[in-house]
Chains A and B, each alone.
Chain A
Amino acid sequence: MAENNEMTLKIITPDRVFYENVATMVEFNTTEGEIGVYKGHIPTTVIIAPGILRITNGDEVKEAALHAGFAEILPEGITILAEIIEWPTEIDLNRAEQAKERAEERIRTKTDNTDTMRAEIALKRAVTRIEVLKD
């Protein structure tokens, strides 16, 4: 393609710079639904919902499990402030599956003092982790 369609992607966590490179497309899940962003997007700030982050750079595709944070989208690039984010290699499948069962159990055996919101978020996280590993 003659036109340069690369934008910068910067993912920062409280502990490190997680990823910093160019990308042609970035897809992730927000509170408003899943979105995919190309270069030249209108400036937007979105809140992230647990889901898979997919970075496409030419033919290369990278995935990571993105759980919380928010993203600042500008025409030239995206900055993601991630509170929790993991590469698939950093995920322990057994732990994620156990967490999923625990969360499901908590939602099923609902009592008055169950924090349903928390259990659901935990479930979503576990599911995201498992999905990222399966692909």
Chain B
Amino acid sequence: MASMRDIKRRKSSIESTQQITKAMKLVSTVRLQRARQRAENSKAYFNCMYDTVTSVLAKASNVNHPYLKAGSSNRKAVVVITSNRGLAGGYNSGIIKLITRGNFDKDELDIYALGKKGKEFLARYGYTIKEDDCDKIDDPVYADAMGISKRLLESYVSGEIGEIYLAYTAFKNTVVHDPKLIKLLPVEPEESQDSEDSSKIEKGATALMNFEPEDEEALDLIIPKYVTSLIYGGMVESVASENGARMQAMDSATSNAEDMIAKLSLQYNRARQGSITQELTEIIGGASAIS
């Protein structure tokens, strides 16, 4: 049996770890509230954006616009949103798995990394890190998303890349977050029409939309905004998911530490009792030997 001192030392080390995990849990709870609020605030914007883009596309489905067909290049850009810090359970590995296990060819991918963890992992496995915006994920600002989408669209238009994807973690609620991979460009009109429910189609039929400027020009201006809003939405939701995942991970770490402390306390008390009994037997044995 381990000595009393060893057990005590182990116990106090676990106690201090537990304090850290407890504090981290509190911090991520607070951050989660804030991130969630933000994600909810921006929802209205994205829903509206989505409706508008689908209605534009429904009207302009036969327009031969560069944003609607795959570029000539077979290189693909992926915006990978992970966290800058670890200890968030399966949050980061969920996203990384989407990339490594998806049907992507490693040599054809350009990674636009938002988040150190994903960047470091993918760099180690030989992926091309085209751009590194890791500092931006700490506090997502719409202007950052604008910058990223602008650079993405420039290389898309110049033919450097043929497709653009976004890998992020969708925030459903505090405990459920889904790693997701969505295609940003080219926009697939038939897909967006499928996902549109019948009520929206009715709305579109009653209100025939005019566009000023013309459809094609409108696409030119709206699609970049659409891409930006998706990237920003991905950032905001990922931050909420990250804090949710960390909160859960730290919660279970704290309760695991509690279990271990309980087990060690029991062991410690047994060892203490054992040593007292042993001492007593030694004293009694000594005394009876003298008399």
Query: Residues on A close to B: CB < 8 A?
Result: 12-17, 30-32, 42-47, 69-70, 72, 74, 79, 81, 83
Inter-subunit contact B142/A14 (CB<8 Å): yes
Interface size on B, residues (CB 8 A): 25
CB contact under 8 A between A15 and B38, given known A31-B213, A44-B210, A83-B146? yes
Contacts of B38 in A (CB 8 A): 15
Among B41, B142, B210, B212, find the residue whose CB has the most chain A CB atoms closer than 10 A: B212
The answer to whether A12 touches B48 (Cβ under 8 A) is: yes
Q: Are B52 and A72 in contact (CB under 8 A)?
A: yes
Question: In the complex the two chains form, is A81's CB within 8 Å of B45's CB?
Answer: yes
The residue in chain B whose Cβ has the minimal distance to the Cβ of A45 is: B211
A45 touches B207 (CB 8 A): no
Cα A15 to Cα B52 with chains together (Å): 18
Q: Map CB proximity to A onto B111-148 as digits: 1 under 8 Å, 0 otherwise.
A: 00000000000000000000000000000001000100
Name the residue of chain B whose CB is nearest to the CB of A75.
B207
Chain A neighbourhood of B41, CB < 8 A: 15-17
Our count of residue pairs bridging A and B at CB distance below 8 angstroms stands at: 65
A47-B222 Cα distance, complex, nearest whole Å:
8
Residues of A within 8 A of B2 (CB): none
CA distance A83 to B225 in the complex (A): 8
Residue contact B221 to A15, C-beta cutoff 8 Å: no
Interface of B is mostly: helix
Are B209 and A81 in contact, with the CB atoms below 8 A? no
> Which of B42, B45, B49, B212 makes the CB contact (< 8 A) with A44?
B212
Of B44, B52, B228, which one neighbours A70 at CB under 8 angstroms?
B52
- Specify which of A15, A30, A45 is in contact with B209 (CB 8 Å cutoff): A45
Given known A13-B45, A14-B45, A83-B142, contact A70–B210 (CB-CB < 8 A): no
- Asked if B218 is at the interface of the complex by the 8 Å CB criterion, the answer is yes
Contact call A45/B52, Cβ cutoff below 8 A: yes
Sample (7) of A-B pairs whose CB atoms are under 8 Å apart: A14-B42, A42-B210, A44-B212, A46-B211, A47-B212, A70-B222, A83-B146
Instruction: Please give me the residue from chain B that is nearest to A82 by CB atom.
Output: B45
Q: How far is the CA of A12 from the CA of B211 in the complex (A)?
A: 20
Q: B289 at the A/B interface (Cβ < 8 Å)?
A: no
B86-118 Cβ-contact flags toward A at 8 Å (1 or 0): 000000000000000000000000000000000
Interface centre among A12, A45, A83 (most CB of B within 10 A): A45
